Amino acid sequence: MEPGGKAFENSVLLTNIQRFSLHDGPGIRTTVFLKGCSLRCPWCSNPENLSGVPQAYTKDGLDGVYGEYMAQDALAEVCLRDKGFYGEKNGSWDIKNAGEISSLPGGVTFSGGECLLQMDRLVPVCETLHRNGVHIAAETCLFVQPSALGLAIKYIDFFYADVKILDETRCREEEKGDLKLYLSNLGMLLDSGRPVAIRIPVIGGYTDGAGDRRAARDLMEKYKRKILKIELVKGHNLGEEKYRSLGMPVPRYMDVDDRQMENYREELSGLHIPVEICRI
Amino acid sequence: MSLKSFVKDDLWRVNYIYPFAKKHLADEKGRFDLARHILGAYKNIHRVKGEKPRSVGGDIKALLEQVEVDIPEGGFVYFIDEHRTVALPGNVFNNMTVDYEKLLVQGFHERLGDAAGDDEYGRQIGLVAEGLGNLAGRIVAALKESKHPDKEKRIAEFENMLDGPAKGFEEALQRTMFFNQVMWQTRHRLNGFGHMDWFLDPYYQKDMASGKITEADVDRMLDDFYRKLSQYSYYKADALVGDIGQIIVLGGLKEDGTYFCSKLTEQIMRAQARARVPDPKTILRVSAKMPEGLMEAAVECLESATGSPMFANDDVIVPLLRDFGYEKEDAYNYCVSACWEPFVVGKSFEQNNMATYDFSAAFDRLMGDLDGIRSFEDMVERYITLNDEVFRDFLENIREWKWARDPFVSFLTDGCNDQRKDVSEGGAKYNSYGVTTVALANVVDSLLNIRRLVFEEKKYTLQQLAETRKKDFEGEESLLRFCRENRHFGRDDREALDLVDRITKKQAEVAMQFKNKFGGTVKFGLSSPGYNAACKKMPGDFSGRKAGDPYNTHISCTAAGYTEVVNFSGQLDYGCQRFNGNVVDFFVSPDFLKQNRDKFVMFMMLAIRQGFFEMQMNVMDSRTLIDAKAHPERYPGLIVRVWGMSAYFNELPESYQDLLIERAVAAERTK
Ligand code: SF4
């Protein structure tokens, strides 16, 4: 049976469900890593989540498969197991400033890969979670069809949206992405009024140049009233083993030191959006 | 009566060094070394005998009259004469807390007025009183001679030691320490402190309000308290160096349903963190009603990595104690025995850590008695039947334990003075026994793995598995790996939960039928110091354990994350006498805690609502432990949580060190 065929209609392709996740949104969360991505960032640390089909791998002499089709109701059931640890918040989740993030409850975060590629299949999961009062976040690169984003805006309560290479040609060549689609999606998301935090991976040779930083700054300037906060994220090589297990070459890129990260933060400070530096 | 219990019960007068040599039984250095320690103890420790006819009270009187007084250069007076002891007939009441509060609100002599009499009971406590009077008097005399900077204050406190109520916070603390010293000196082991923030709080509030003391004064006093109490650790240690049991209970629900803690609660916790010693140690009674700020202080204390505080969940424990039959007031006032077994101070003769029950013993019998088992259900039924038998036999062995008379503890235990009956004769209000257990996790994992291998996938027959077990999995590495990768206990596994409840429920029925000689019954729990001792002679099982490997530690699962284990523990049934300590045991890396303190506090507050019973943590990363094993000289102060106690890593036997490293590695993997 081909993926996408009938048997897979009510299921979601994922590689991992991480409980007690503390870095993927407010509170204590369960993070679901969905398999399949629309981009190919050269620094990606999740090679197992790029291809949209299950993949065989070999690690320490043992064979395995990345990716599992999980039925929607089964996924919702796992996500609800830690409901007792998500906590509650009375009142609206549509917060307007960064200071309120910590008042939001924990919940479920869809990550990836690009989780919105499977947004239509996530809808029933989201409905079950919302019926149970669970807060939902998503981490997205926004290189997706506007219809998928539209659905997401309807069902997702909090977004982490990436800002990566902002030069049209380099975006196409290095990330295999369509910048126009991205920019229009970013506008659509921010105009929707949903809470959005921006994540900027700062990667030596790709997104850390003066031009990259200026472009990011200008983009942030345009939407500054609609952005809760910006996170500057340093690259890391935690994905190395997974690249090897898939027989893929391990990506190399230059390190960005703490001072450069601080400078970047400085440059963004005039926007009056809170900026955090995140190290993994 | 077996020879062993005869030696244990009736040769105490000869075997008086046993408590001091016991720790060497576990230190894995061999018999020769043990014999050396025993001889050393006989040489070092002298028994003091009272006048004839001998009696416990008379021996204690003589002992207190002879111990050497040692006045420190400053601070509180606290000393133990490590060379003198009493040799008593029978087991000495231990692993408990004496009711210090009774001695603070009323002078010893005032209380004696109610209890004195011409009968034997009154005579015995009278003798103890004479010994105490002599000791306090000699301390006063020695203070007068000393250069102690606060000697006037100390003299006044000791002159009032037995006469009137304590007059302030400092005096109350000094008095608590004095009677604690007396407990240790008179051969009691594992002496807790009880609900210190509660019983000291009235003195604290009054002195603070009047300006007699400041927070800084209290910090100084508590630092001195911790320093002094952590001395004599060799003398005090029980089954392992560090197993001392001076537990301080903090916070908790009051009878009116409100949560009580005060500034003093936090000050004690901070002193614990500053002291960086494994013992004294603290347990915080928590509840969904507690202030979040107190949990923040507790997590900060955890970061100091002494293993304190451990957490006891009042929202779960108090109702269980009520159901068992403790009166409302007593249930709300519970403390714990030296590790974690709920214990009502000043009202009970509850020996909660009498022996360790091994769930594997029945599994071992099951593996030799497989005939006629055709299904998983048959197998579980057979195991439960065997377990009932083994447990019944086990209880028979503790039923007849003989206890030494204990006039001092009786004097401070409700029920004894009125009935003129010593605690050792059943004079207390509550008289139940308690036992701890090991290996239920290994048994449950084994049964569920056998089900899959034999009854579902039909890869093996039961006989084949029994043979493999006999050969300790030789040539069956893949089977061993399968077992290690398929863990059930501690996970989101409904079947494991049901199986645990089913086994413990049947066992509880046996426990409920048990009556000890005082009319009490027996409680058990799923955590025990014995997880690395009882296993040594036990063949492997299908939880992935090879022969001699340690059992699972308390309620934990190296394959599961924090929320999973908490959810599991919150769904277990602890009713029907199954509440004798049930501890979730975690490893948390120090970096993780530091970087996520807010969320960790949130986790703890939410975990309370999930209904865990008790919880303790090792704040330690595997790298540190591995390095410390290789280079002990670099880590003289490294403290780890072992069972209900914390200890210096360097002083632990190697098998304990290895187990801790293994668990730390596993915790980092699941995180
Ligand atoms: S968007 Fe994320 S998952 Fe996709 S390629 Fe880029 S870094 Fe990897």
Best residue for ligand 1 mutational test, from A37, A182, A200 (most atoms within 8 Å of Cβ)? A37
pLDDT, one tens digit per residue, over B401-413 is 888 999 999 999 9
Contact call for residues B460 and B454 (beta carbons, < 8 A): yes
Whether B365 and B337 map to the same domain: the answer is no
- According to the model, what pLDDT value does residue B13 have? 64
Query: Measured between alpha carbons, how far is A89 from A134 in angstroms, rounded to an integer?
Result: 10
- According to the model, what pLDDT value does residue A2 have? 45
- H-helix or E-strand containing B590? helix B590-595
User: In chain A, where are the structural domains located?
Assistant: 5-278
Please answer yes or no on whether B567 and A81 come within 8 Å at the CB atom. Answer: yes
Distance of CA B90 to the CA centre of its chain: 21
Asked if the structure places residue B610 within a domain, the reply is: no
Average pLDDT score over residue span B383-394: 97
pLDDT, one tens digit per residue, over B417-465 is 999 999 999 999 999 999 999 999 999 999 999 999 999 999 999 999 9
Query: Measured between alpha carbons, how far is A187 from A196 in angstroms, rounded to an integer?
Result: 11
- According to the model, what pLDDT value does residue B6 have? 59
Average pLDDT score over residue span A205-212: 94
Nearest to B596 among A22, A85, A106 (CB): A22
Query: Average pLDDT of chain A?
Result: 93
Whether B22 and B70 map to the same domain: the answer is no
Mutate to test the interface with B, among A63, A85, A104, A241 (most CBs of B within 10 A): A85
Residue A118: DSSP 8-state: G
Query: Measured between alpha carbons, how far is A122 from A110 in angstroms, rounded to an integer?
Result: 9
Topology at the third CATH level for domain A5-278: TIM Barrel (3.20.20)
pLDDT of residue B32 exceeding 90, the answer is: no
Average pLDDT score over residue span A162-168: 97
Rounded distance from Cα A17 to ligand 1 centre (Å): 18
Provide, as residue numbers in chain B, all residues whose Cβ is less than 8 Å from the Cβ of A81: 492, 563-564, 567
- According to the model, what pLDDT value does residue A75 have? 98
Average pLDDT score over residue span B560-567: 91
Q: How confident is the model at residue B640 (pLDDT cuts 50, 70, 90)?
A: confident
Q: How confident is the model at residue B479 (pLDDT cuts 50, 70, 90)?
A: very high
Peptide bond into B280 cis (omega under 30): yes
Contact call for residues B557 and B489 (beta carbons, < 8 A): yes
Average pLDDT score over residue span A271-278: 93
pLDDT of residue B633 exceeding 50, the answer is: yes
pLDDT, one tens digit per residue, over B133-191 is 999 999 999 999 999 999 999 999 999 999 999 999 999 999 999 999 999 999 898 99
Q: How confident is the model at residue A1 (pLDDT cuts 50, 70, 90)?
A: very low
Question: CA nearest B606 in A: which residue?
Answer: A85
Contacts of B554 (CB under 8 A, 6+ apart): B526, B527, B528, B531, B582, B583, B584, B585, B616, B643
Whether B64 and B92 map to the same domain: the answer is yes
What b-and-e string marks burial along B444-455, b requiring 16 or more CB atoms within 10 Å of the CB?
bbbbbbbbebbb
Question: CA nearest A105 in B: which residue?
Answer: B602
DSSP-assigned beta bridge partners for residue A233: A201, A278
Enter the pTM of the model.
0.91
Among all chains, which residue has been given the structure tokens 């090589």? A237
Q: How far is B4 from chain A (nearest CA, A)?
A: 49
Asked if the structure places residue B325 within a domain, the reply is: yes
Provide, as residue numbers in chain B, all residues whose Cβ is less than 8 Å from the Cβ of A84: 567, 570, 606, 609-610
pLDDT of residue B377 exceeding 60, the answer is: yes
pLDDT, one tens digit per residue, over B485-510 is 999 999 989 999 999 999 999 999 99
pLDDT, one tens digit per residue, over A214-232 is 999 999 999 999 999 999 9
Asked if the structure places residue B194 within a domain, the reply is: yes
3-class DSSP string for A11-28: EEEEEEEEEEECCCCCCC
Asked if the structure places residue B651 within a domain, the reply is: yes
Whether B554 and B644 map to the same domain: the answer is no
Q: How far is B593 from chain A (nearest CA, A)?
A: 11
Whether B509 and B550 map to the same domain: the answer is yes
Whether B337 and B460 map to the same domain: the answer is no
Query: Average pLDDT of chain B?
Result: 91
- According to the model, what pLDDT value does residue A4 have? 47
Asked if the structure places residue B585 within a domain, the reply is: no
Whether B148 and B256 map to the same domain: the answer is yes
Q: How confident is the model at residue A161 (pLDDT cuts 50, 70, 90)?
A: very high
Asked if the structure places residue B586 within a domain, the reply is: no
- According to the model, what pLDDT value does residue B422 have? 95
Residue A53: DSSP 8-state: S
pLDDT of residue A5 exceeding 60, the answer is: no
Whether B202 and B266 map to the same domain: the answer is yes
Q: Is the CB of A40 under 6 A from ligand 1?
A: yes
Query: Measured between alpha carbons, how far is B475 from B459 in angstroms, rounded to an integer?
Result: 16
Rounded distance from Cα B435 to ligand 1 centre (Å): 55
Residue A110: DSSP 8-state: E
User: HSE on the CB side for A232, CA within 13 Å?
Assistant: 28
- According to the model, what pLDDT value does residue A124 have? 97
Q: Is the CB of A245 under 6 A from ligand 1?
A: no
Average pLDDT score over residue span A240-248: 90
Q: Cβ of A87 under 8 Å from any chain B Cβ?
A: yes
The ipTM is: 0.88
Query: What DSSP string describes B283-349?
Result: EEEE-TTS-HHHHHHHHHHHHT-S---EEEEHHHHHHHHHHHT--HHHHHT-EE-SSS-EE-TTTB-
Q: Which two tokens stand for residue B652?
A: 């632990």
Whether B303 and B446 map to the same domain: the answer is no
- According to the model, what pLDDT value does residue B203 have? 98
pLDDT of residue B8 exceeding 90, the answer is: no
Whether B521 and B654 map to the same domain: the answer is no
- According to the model, what pLDDT value does residue A89 have? 74
Query: Measured between alpha carbons, how far is A16 from B11 in angstroms, rounded to an integer?
Result: 61
Cα–Cα nearest to B610, from B650, B666, B550, B569 = B569
- Cα–Cα distances (Å) from A120 to A10, A11, A31, A150, A232, in that order, read 10, 11, 18, 10, 30
Which stretches within B349-493 are classed as H helix?
360-367, 376-399, 407-411, 416-419, 440-450, 462-470, 477-485
Nearest to A85 among B492, B563, B596 (CB): B563
Residue B520: DSSP 8-state: -
Asked if the structure places residue B239 within a domain, the reply is: yes
Nearest to A19 among B561, B607, B609 (CB): B561
**Owning domain of residue B661:** 620-671
Q: Is the CB of A106 under 6 A from ligand 1?
A: no
Query: Measured between alpha carbons, how far is B634 from B17 in angstroms, rounded to an integer?
Result: 34
pLDDT, one tens digit per residue, over B241-290 is 677 889 999 999 999 999 999 999 999 999 999 998 888 999 999 999 99
The residue whose CA is least distant from atom 3 of ligand 1 is: A113
Contacts of B370 (CB under 8 A, 6+ apart): B462, B463, B466
pLDDT of residue A280 exceeding 70, the answer is: no
DSSP-assigned beta bridge partners for residue B285: B312
Average pLDDT score over residue span A161-189: 97
Q: In chain B, pLDDT over 70 holds for what percent of residues?
A: 95
Lowest mean pLDDT among A44-48, B402-406, B529-533, B660-664: B529-533
Nearest to A19 among B563, B602, B609 (CB): B563
Q: In chain B, pLDDT over 90 holds for what percent of residues?
A: 70
Asked if the structure places residue B155 within a domain, the reply is: yes
